[in-house]
Amino acid sequence: MPAAGNLAAAAWTDVGAAPLVLVPVGSCEQHGPHLPLSTDTVIAEAVAARAADALRPDAGGQVLVAPAIAFGASGEHAGFPGTVSIGHEALTAVLVETVRSLALWAGRVVFVNGHGGNVPALDAAAGRMRVEGHDAAWAGCGVPGGDAHAGFTETSAMLHLAPDLVRPFGAVTGETRPLAAIMPDLVAGGVRAVSPSGVLGDPAGASAERGREIVADMVASVVRRIGGGRADERGRLLDPAVPRSPVPRA
């Protein structure tokens, strides 16, 4: 068995009984003039692989990382060449059929998501799979206070994970108003309407060192949520470190 639990490198005879399978979900979408189209996929793959390594000692069974689903729902980035979006409906179908197929031999399936635009499809697919009785759920790669798109957070993460793919970003500017303020324009005209560079946030000050910390936080959060094992009705794994408040948030 390949040491990293990489499903793509395994032979069928390497696969044990009812393993936990992590499936990275990314995108092929513009990430400003300085980051590659694969940014979300690179981050999701790395977080899934590191989470698998952290989970393995206590898992009581195999933890495998499947090949990434590398096309997502990126319609809001359609104004930029390079972006490939399969949309929510197709992505939901891909996620559903991935779980149904995995369920023939896997014990548990967790999607590790690197792209916010995929969330409606993940909610729909994981929620439906749970109703069908599958042990399927998902966890995202966000960090508290992270900026939205191709800014400090993702640029730092990529400087840590794939520095050869990061171009100079000193002159790159983005839209830094809060997401809530730009949302009407974003919904109406896509990212191009609010940010000509494609960046939502600001890469200034991004560094590999901060990226190392950011990715470690993403991994720790995913590990906590998978270890906790509780999901809501949409299949979102809940963080046991964040107690549920009985007081509804405004």
Contacting residues toward Zn ion, per CB under 5 A: 39-40
CB nearer to Zn ion: pick between 40 and 76 = 40
Question: Least CB distance from residue 154 to Zn ion, whole Å?
Answer: 5
Q: How far is the CB of 128 from Zn ion (least distance, A)?
A: 25
- Minimum CB–partner distance for residue 246 and Zn ion (Å): 34
For the packed helices 208-228 and 39-59, what is the interaxial angle rounded to 10 degrees? 50
Q: Is the CB of 40 or the CB of 147 nearer to Zn ion?
A: 40
Give the C-alpha separation, 136 to 130, whole Å. 6
Strands, sheet with 108-113, edge to edge from the N-terminal-most edge strand = 63-65, 20-25, 108-113, 136-140
Joined tokens for residue 53: 């390594």
CA distance 48 to 43: 8
Contact yes or no for 167/116 (Cβ under 8 A): no
Measured distance CA(141)–CA(24) in Å, rounded: 10
Smallest distance from Zn ion to CB 31, Å: 6
Tell me whether residue 39 or residue 118 sits nearer to Zn ion (CB atom). Answer: 39
Minimum gap (Å) between residue 229 Cβ and Zn ion: 27
- Residue placing its CB nearer to Zn ion in the complex, 38 or 92: 38
CB of 39 to Zn ion, least distance (A): 5
Q: Which is nearer to Zn ion, 5 or 116 (CB)?
A: 116
Contact yes or no for 235/229 (Cβ under 8 A):
no
Rank residues 51 and 141 by Cβ distance to Zn ion and give the closer one.
Answer: 141
Q: Which single residue brings its beta carbon nearest to Zn ion?
A: 40
Could you list the beta-strand ranges (E) of the chain.
20-25, 63-65, 108-113, 136-140
Please state the φ and ψ torsions of residue 132, each to the nearest 5 degrees: -75, -5
Are 72 and 91 in contact by the 8 Å Cβ rule? The answer is yes
Residue 53 is given by DSSP the state: H
